[in-house]
Structure 1
Amino acid sequence: MIILELFLCFVATATFGIIFNIPLRLLWWGGLIGVLAWFIYSTLPIYDFTDVFAAATAAFAAAFTSHWLAKWIRVPVTMFTIPGIIPLVPGGRAYSTMLAFVEEDYLQGLELGVETLLQAGSIAAGLVFALSIFSFGKGVGQRYETD
């Protein structure tokens, strides 16, 4: 069952890569990064980690792999990062949040809304943390001075 889930994740990630005009030679890499992210995100809750931590860890892994691969292949990192985090986006949870508000179940809507925002924030934090690792040492001290 997990093999089918990962295969469908690969197809969905590669499809989003096509939507974002990623070159065909890079679609495979983006799909594999998406599968890696989904595998981490779906595996960590089995070991009693929260969904927010799992999303942050999966986003970090996707971004770290994307940065490394972009340096290796010499392409922009967004070619891999954007499709790589697509499986993590909490779209279903956001839909459930809006549905709860429409059905006037405000407490459920607030609960789901907070969970959605926390998960989206953890994805952003994972991306930023990986970026900070790859940009370490590229600050002001690395610039050349012109005299």
Structure 2
Amino acid sequence: MLIIDLLFTYIATVAFGVLLNLPHRALNMAGLIGTLSFLAYKLLMMAHSGLVTANLVGAVLIGVLSMQAAKWLKMPVIIFNIPALVPFVPGGQAYQMVKNFALADNTVAFSFFVSSNRNCRCYCLWLFTGRIIYPVTTKVVRLAGQSAESK
């Protein structure tokens, strides 16, 4: 079941990249970033680590991998991180919210609104965190490599 989820995640990420008219050489990398981050998310959810932790790891992974891909392919970061966020969009929660508002079940609809709103804010925060972590880790790795060479 996980393999099917990952296959459809890759297809959805690449398809969204096509809709956004991304350069063709960026589509495969955006799909891989989206799939790898979703894999981390799913594995953490299977391990019962909690929704916030899984979202944290998935979004930070998107941020870090997108920055590395942008550096490697010499393209803007946004080309990779926007399509990669597609698997994390809380579309089911938004659908349930609208459905329950239409059925006049406002308390349930409001709970879905709060949940989807919280998830979207978490993605933004964690993606920003990934953009902060990447330069720090690359500098630490570079310094560690220089100190190993000097010995």
Q: How does 1:50-69 map to 2 (within 5 A)?
A: 50-69=50-69
**Unaligned regions of 5+ residues in structure 1, if any?**
137-147
Deviation at 1:108, TM superposition (A): 1.1
CA 1:53 to 1:100, structure 2 compared with 1: closer, same or farther past 3 Å? farther
CA contact (8 A) 1:41 1:88 kept: no
Cα distance between partner residues in 1 of 2:45 and 2:2: 15
Instruction: Report how many aligned residue pairs link the two structures.
Output: 136
CA 1:52 to 1:101, structure 2 compared with 1: closer, same or farther past 3 Å? farther
Cα distance between partner residues in 1 of 2:47 and 2:26: 33
Q: How does 1:79-90 map to 2 (within 5 A)?
A: 79-90=79-90
Q: How does 1:130-141 map to 2 (within 5 A)?
A: 130-134=130-134
**Unaligned regions of 5+ residues in structure 2, if any?**
137-151
Whichever structure has more helix as a proportion of its residues is 2
Equivalent position amino acid for 2:94 in 1? A
Cα distance between partner residues in 2 of 1:114 and 1:86: 20
Deviation at 1:51, TM superposition (A): 2.0
Cα distance between partner residues in 2 of 1:52 and 1:96: 20
CA contact (8 A) 1:18 1:27 kept: yes
- Identical positions, percent: 31
Which residue matches 1:45? 45
- 1:128 lines up with 2:128 in the alignment: yes
Cα distance between partner residues in 2 of 1:44 and 1:99: 29
Deviation at 1:38, TM superposition (A): 1.4
User: Under a length normalisation based on structure 2, what TM-score does the superposition of the two structures give?
Assistant: 0.83
Which residue matches 1:104? 104
Deviation at 1:134, TM superposition (A): 4.0
Which residue matches 2:93? 93
Deviations 1:72-128 (A, max 9, x none): 221100111111111101112111111111111122112111111111011101111
For the residue of structure 2 that corresponds to 1:111, the secondary structure is helix
User: Under a length normalisation based on structure 1, what TM-score does the superposition of the two structures give?
Assistant: 0.85
Which residue matches 1:10? 10
What RMSD in Å do the two structures reach over aligned CA positions?
Answer: 1.4
